[in-house]
Chain A
């Protein structure tokens, strides 16, 4: 019998119960602190570091040179064509050298391309040059942000209809925004380059995070749909039980989702170096962990809090609470 199964049993019966809902202030403070810290760090660093797709610039790639020594490229760029700013040089795919510079003129591009070919002793066809307009990345992001806004509106409507309460939508959306902010802040705080691939990862988080929240909320809906008058539990307790009962699933799901992503992250960083795979995987990895956390520690407590404000439930909560107190003192037994 695996210990996880036994853990699941105890959570299911209520034998073991972790008080997620009751300690909500603690979780709020924890998340708030993380957000404030990461935003502050990002600001201290001078904002996000944007990739070439956002800044615009020229990019050269030397395929399969005999040596992938980046010093050669650095020397070539600085000596050759009068590029003053320090070029960004990285090894991609393990066997190619990538050089990113500020935007060059056509003549400079041709000259640098030839110079790189000579320096790395490859035919000039093996050196590709690309140019990225500064508007490209921001265009993609602008569209993506618009999509994000529309998606959030649509999904809150869908969830409000399905769960028959807008409060679940609000709690779920707050959790998603929480995940997006923290993931973006990780990029900002660590000074990682923001590329379109990272933006894609960020967008996927919202699908994933909501998915995770919906699964847990569905259990909450099930547990709290019993007529309240008949229930011996406060609303918050019902929510807490649902979170506990789905905890094993939440852990299993997060691990299973994180495993392939960490595999991409590992392969991406070790074999490919900078690139699409690593950037997508990194934001996803952070986002999946955040998403699992926020469902349990932010969305569910927030929902309970929103609902507890309702008069009917408050009354019910008081009634149940007094009953429990009486039970504990043994007065009714």
Chain B
């Protein structure tokens, strides 16, 4: 059997050691995968805080990263299930289109920034600007989030089991923010909303998918007051 055929038929996880091979080779290997690939399970060893790991994967494979990662891990992910067995640097899962990214530790700033879809689960805390400009992603943070989280968030759901820093949801559009803890303050145009049955269904589903131990009834919903949707001189102080 040729080595190429062996590659095609393997079923055990593909192990990629970043102390032995450079990031470039990892990206090439992941981007070469076709949707029907048999290489559906990947394990990345020794990430050692490297940046831009497992970015731009467009096939539904599972990738486990054994350690801490730097900036933009799983950036623009489109379909992969990526688990980070450690902490993540800024911009984890930034601009994700679909798939799941699960950070077992804490996440730095701008987690899930501008992402259009998929689910980002952070078992620990997330730093400032979590979910900034989010465009459809669902984010579940089991700890707390930093200031300006969900700044200019357009759509999607941000679930926070802990507390938040200042200016939660500043300049919010149509994203929903569910928070079980206490926001240090709400940002411009962000207000508490009544939780409809539909909102609760969304929340319960996300808690279940994220494996979060929390009761939906403990959460409050925050959304846009929509006063900044049309520029008006009376709102100039809020801009």
| A and B bind | no
B interface residues, Cβ below 8 angstroms from A: none
